[in-house]
Amino acid sequence: MPQDFSPPPAEVIAEDVARALAEDLGSGDVTAALLPDVADIAYLLCKEEAVVAGRPWFDACHRALDSDVAIEWRVQEGERVPAGTVLATLSGRARALVSGERASLNFMQTLSGTATTTAAYVEAVRGTRAKILDTRKTLPGLRLAQKYAVRCGGGSNHRIGLFDTVMLKENHIRAAGSLTAAVRAARAAQPALPLVVEVENLAQLQEALEVGCDRILIDDFDAVTRREAVRIANGRIPLEVSGGVSLETVRSVAEDGVDCISVGGLTKHVHAIDLSLKLGPAPR
């Protein structure tokens, strides 16, 4: 299946960029004002191996400051590039190029970092049935951007927020009196939404299988119990693992036969990719 590199709506990107530029420029870039406001060129350099993500935000930053800027990309979103790759060249007004540098790089380094980390997890489970999912543990205000970057890295999105999927956990089940009662109440209240149920043991797993839902989260099961859960479920309802999964352990979890593995570290533990924007012609 082709990977979905569709970015969020243009208005979402514009809002992200407006916030970033406002906090950086304030009343005006006093240092860029020292430069002659003449036509100039620049290039975007990636200094380490990475999976590229964030082009729409980069473009929007520079176009917000210079609507006539020309940006020529040499790489695609989701493309893995080696260190030393020139990602793009720009031609525009010198002051605008410099003023937009930090905000545009902040988006690119963060989103490329998310995509690169995601790609590492996806590669680690290659050949198994497991899909890598993200979580809601995103940077405040950048959820749609980071979830886009996860897709660029080959991962899949879990729920976007608290509004698009019903997810029943221990507190919900306790308040309803039982797992079955919680599921039935959720189905009655939100029949059109996906329903995910977290279970704490194999007895609850069996109950969830019997009452029905769209996915079952087996959180903090040890390997033996996890494999038994896979045997019991037997493909009837997809099983998701979450919690305590690292790049070192994700392969063994996937090999137990689960369908999904959600990893908060894709968006929470961001390793920013080392990028720079330099005035002048790109190196050959």
- The burial class, CB within 10 Å (0-12 / 13-18 / 19+), for 96 is buried
Q: Which of 97, 137, 152 has the alpha carbon at shortest distance from 267? A: 137
DSSP 156: B
Q: Which of 192, 193, 200, 170 has the alpha carbon at shortest distance from 182? A: 170
| First-last CA distance in the chain | 36
Answer for the pair 103, 61: CB distance below 8 angstroms, yes or no.
yes
Among residues 129, 136, 169, 251, the one annotated as catalytic is: 169
CA–CA separation, 231 vs 149, rounded Å? 34
- Is residue 29 annotated as a catalytic residue, yes or no? no
Across the strands, what pairs with 39? 93
Kindly report each contact of residues 187-191 with a partner whose C-beta sits within 8 Å and lies 24 or more positions away, as own/partner. Answer: 190/166
- Is residue 198 annotated as a catalytic residue, yes or no? yes
Q: Tokens 């029905």, residue?
A: 212
- Is residue 251 annotated as a catalytic residue, yes or no? no
DSSP 282: P
Answer for the pair 212, 186: CB distance below 8 angstroms, yes or no.
no
Q: CB within 8 A of 255, min separation 6: which ones?
A: 128
Q: Tokens 């996906």, residue?
A: 194
Q: CB within 8 A of 241, min separation 6: which ones?
A: 217, 218, 219, 221, 226, 253, 258, 260, 261, 262
Among residues 63, 74, 80, 102, the one annotated as catalytic is: 102
Among residues 129, 136, 137, 187, the one annotated as catalytic is: 137
Phi, psi of 123 (to 5 degrees): -65, -35
Among residues 219, 228, 255, 274, the one annotated as catalytic is: 219
Among residues 16, 101, 198, 240, the one annotated as catalytic is: 198
Which residues are part of the catalytic machinery? 102, 137, 169, 198, 219
